[in-house]
Amino acid sequence: MGKSKNILITGADGFIGSHLAEMLLSEGHNIKALSYYNSFNSWGWLEEVNINKELEIISGDIRDPYFCKEITKNIDQVFHLAALIGIPYSYTAPDSYIDTNIKGTLNICNAVRDNDVEMMVHTSTSEVYGTAQYVPIDENHPLQPQSPYSASKIGADSLAMSFYSAFNLPLTIARPFNTYGPRQSARAVIPSIITQIASGKKEIKVGDLSPTRDFNYVEDTCRAFIEIAKTPDSMGETINIGSNYEISILDTLTKIKKIMNSDAEFLIDDERVRPDKSEVERLWCDNSKLKNLTGFEPRIGIDEGLERTINWFIDEKNLKKYKYEIYNV
C-alpha cells in the first residue's frame, strides 16, 4: 500500500477485524474502525487492543445507508468485514442475515461508489462452497448454500461483484477459509474446546468430528488481506485465503488435548450438530491464485498456531471473557 492511507474497516470490533486494525495501524495507516452500535458503548475486541487510542473508533450499523455514506467520506480503502457469521443462529434468524450481510453490503458498495473510494476488499467465506465436490477447492468451485448464512454470503458476494461489473467499482473479494486464533468466538470449534479444557472440564461437548477444514492462523489471514489490497491485479477477482492443508476436526481436537496435557473425553452434543444436509463435510483450500497474484505464503502452521491460541485463551483475564459453560449460537 506504500504511503499512508485513510482506511475504513467495518467489523473492526470482531475477531479478524480487530487483528487487521492492529496490523494496518502498525504499517502507518490512519484507521477508522467501525464498531457495531450498542447501548453499552462497547467496542468489542477493540477494547483489548493496546493501540486503540490511535484508532478512530466509530459506532454504527451498516444496515443504515446514510450512515455508510457518511463514514466512507475521505477514505482511500475499505476493508468490509462486518457481518453476522454464526451458522446455528442463521437457522433461527435468517432474515437478520439478509439485512446485515446482503443489504449491509449493498450500502457499503453504494457508499464506496458515491465517495470515489479507490479500493474495497469485500470479505467472503469458504462456507459458500459447501461440501467439496473436488479438492483442493479453487475459486471456480460451484457455490452451494447449505445454510442461510452461506446463502446470505453468496448473495453479498454476487452483489459486490455486480458493482464491479456494472459500475467499475474497484473491488476484490477475499474468501478466507477457517480462521482461528486469539479473540475468536467460543461458538467456533477451536475456542470451544480450549475454553472447556481450560476451565477444568473432563467431558468436552462437541459436534460432528468427521468434517475436515483448512485452518488458518489469524495473522496469516490478515496479512493476506493486506497483500490483496496492495495488488492492482486483484481488482475484480475472487481470491481464496487458505493454507492448502486439510485436517479433520477430530485430529485438530486431539492436537489441542495433547498441547494442553488433557485427558478429557469428547461427548457428542446434539445441539452442536448441524442438520444432515447443512453440514459442510470437507473444505480444503487451493491458495495458488493468492500466491500467484501476491506472492503470499502462510507463515504459521497448525501446531504453532494452536500453541499461540491456547496460550492466549488460558490467560485468566482472557478466559473470563468467555461463557464456556453455555453453547453460544
Other CB atoms closer than 10 Å to residue 232's CB: what's the count? 10
Other CB atoms closer than 10 Å to residue 299's CB: what's the count? 11
Residue pLDDT, tens place only, 175-218: 999 999 999 998 899 999 999 999 999 998 888 899 999 999 99
> Within a domain: residue 66?
yes
Stretch 21-40: mean pLDDT, rounded? 96
CATH number of residue 142's parent domain? 3.40.50.720
Claim to verify: residue 197 and residue 102 sit in the same structural domain: no
| pLDDT greater than 70 at residue 15 | yes
Rounded Cα gap, residues 146 and 174, in angstroms: 20
| pLDDT greater than 70 at residue 328 | no
| pLDDT greater than 90 at residue 58 | yes
Stretch 87-99: mean pLDDT, rounded? 96
Mean pLDDT of the chain: 95
Claim to verify: residue 192 and residue 236 sit in the same structural domain: no
Provide the residue range defining the domain that includes 120: 6-179+215-241
Rounded Cα gap, residues 176 and 179, in angstroms: 7
Claim to verify: residue 205 and residue 220 sit in the same structural domain: no
Please give the backbone phi and psi of residue 82, each rounded to the nearest 5 degrees, phi first: -60, 130
| pLDDT greater than 90 at residue 275 | no
Identify the pLDDT of residue 53: 82
Last residue of a domain, one of 223, 241, 259: 241
Identify the pLDDT of residue 327: 60
Identify the pLDDT of residue 66: 98
Number of domains in the chain: 2
SS3 204: strand
The gap between the terminal CA atoms of the chain, to the nearest Å, is 37
> Within a domain: residue 261?
yes
Identify the pLDDT of residue 2: 60
- Percent of the chain exceeding pLDDT 90 equals 87
> Within a domain: residue 203?
yes
Claim to verify: residue 261 and residue 222 sit in the same structural domain: no
> Within a domain: residue 49?
yes
Claim to verify: residue 126 and residue 262 sit in the same structural domain: no
Which are the contacts of 71, defined by CB distance < 8 A and separation ≥ 6?
8, 32, 34, 58, 60, 111
> Within a domain: residue 287?
no
Task: Give the CA distances from residue 267 to residues 44, 66, 193, 206, 278, in Å, rounded to whole numbers and listed in that order.
Answer: 31, 48, 11, 6, 21
Claim to verify: residue 192 and residue 315 sit in the same structural domain: yes
SS3 134: coil
Burial profile 127-161: b = 16 or more Cβ within 10 angstroms, e = fewer: bbbbebeebbbebebeebbbbbbbbbbbbbbebbb
Task: Give the CA distances from residue 276 to residues 40, 182, 184, 187, in Å, rounded to whole numbers and listed in that order.
Answer: 38, 30, 26, 19
CATH number of residue 253's parent domain? 3.90.25.10
Is residue 290 a contact partner of residue 240, using CB atoms and an 8 Å limit? yes
Residue pLDDT, tens place only, 134-149: 999 999 999 999 999 9
**Predicted confidence band of residue 14 (pLDDT cuts 50, 70, 90):** very high
**Predicted confidence band of residue 271 (pLDDT cuts 50, 70, 90):** confident
For residue 136, is the peptide bond before it cis, meaning its omega torsion is within 30 degrees of 0?
Answer: yes
Claim to verify: residue 150 and residue 101 sit in the same structural domain: yes
> Within a domain: residue 324?
no
Residue pLDDT, tens place only, 217-254: 999 999 999 999 999 999 999 999 999 999 999 999 99
Claim to verify: residue 125 and residue 258 sit in the same structural domain: no
> Position 112: which residue type?
V
Claim to verify: residue 130 and residue 235 sit in the same structural domain: yes
Claim to verify: residue 26 and residue 84 sit in the same structural domain: yes
Closest CA to 319 of 306, 310, 328: 310
> Within a domain: residue 328?
no
| pLDDT greater than 60 at residue 329 | no
> Within a domain: residue 291?
no
C-alpha cell of residue 288: 495458488
Residue pLDDT, tens place only, 150-162: 999 999 999 999 9
Claim to verify: residue 220 and residue 108 sit in the same structural domain: yes
C-alpha cell of residue 175: 474468501
Claim to verify: residue 22 and residue 159 sit in the same structural domain: yes
